[in-house]
Structure 1
Amino acid sequence: MKISKQNAEHYVWGGLCDGWHLVKQDGLSVIHERMQAGASEVRHYHERARQFFFMLAGTATLEIDGVPVVLGPSDGVEVPPLTPHQMLGSTVEAVEFLVISSPTTRGDRVTG
């Protein structure tokens, strides 16, 4: 079945941001996310999941284990399990990106 933002399961996080589950399986998760200008997520890590972040639109900074990585359209970066990270959205524009996780991050997120 063809999937897109228009027909995918949608959720809101952080009060300002959107996510669409493009693939939602135990072994693989693909989420299209949109962060409003000025939004950021909480610093966290995953015990099992390996993630790949791929920017679709805009520019954001993904802090990985204390090192800022600036991502623009068509840039991607991998985050291994047990590695603290935090997506920091742009202060001037909304950004859109894919988050690909294997296995799923459900129940695997540790904050602090």
Structure 2
Amino acid sequence: MKISKHNTEHYIWGDDCDGWHLVKNQDLSIIHERMPASTSEIKHYHQHARQFFFVLSGIAIIEIDGKEITLNPQEGVEVPPLVPHQMFNKSNNEVEFLVISQPTSKDDRVLVD
């Protein structure tokens, strides 16, 4: 069966942001996420999960270990375990991106003050 954000599990996070679980198992998680204009995620790190963020549309800013990186469409960045990171949409347009985590990031998130 084909998988898309139109036929898979949906959830809402943060400030009216959306997530769709495209692949959801212990070894691998792939989530399609949408962030409206002027929204952000909470700074955190993962104890075990390695993540890859890949922008599909819009322009995202991701802070990794205190350094901001601009991600344009069709660009991505890897975040190793134990490295603090935070995704921002500082634009006036929505951003859609994929978050690929190995193993899953479920119950692996530690908030950073």
Taking structure 2 as the reference length, the TM-score comes to 0.97
Contact 2:46-2:110 at 8 Å conserved across structures: yes
Q: Please tell me the residue identity of whatever aligns with 1:37.
A: A
Tell me the distance in 1 between the aligned counterparts of 2:86 and 2:15: 17
Gaps of 5+ in 2: none
Over the matched positions of the two proteins, sequence identity in percent amounts to 62
Segments of 4+ in structure 1 off by > 4 A?
none
CA RMSD of aligned residues (A): 0.7
Corresponding residue for residue 63 of structure 1: 63
Taking structure 1 as the reference length, the TM-score comes to 0.98
Tell me the distance in 1 between the aligned counterparts of 2:6 and 2:16: 18
Tell me the distance in 1 between the aligned counterparts of 2:36 and 2:60: 11
Corresponding residue for residue 39 of structure 2: 39
Q: How many residues align?
A: 112
Alignment of 1:73-92 (within 5 A): 73-92=73-92
Gaps of 5+ in 1: none
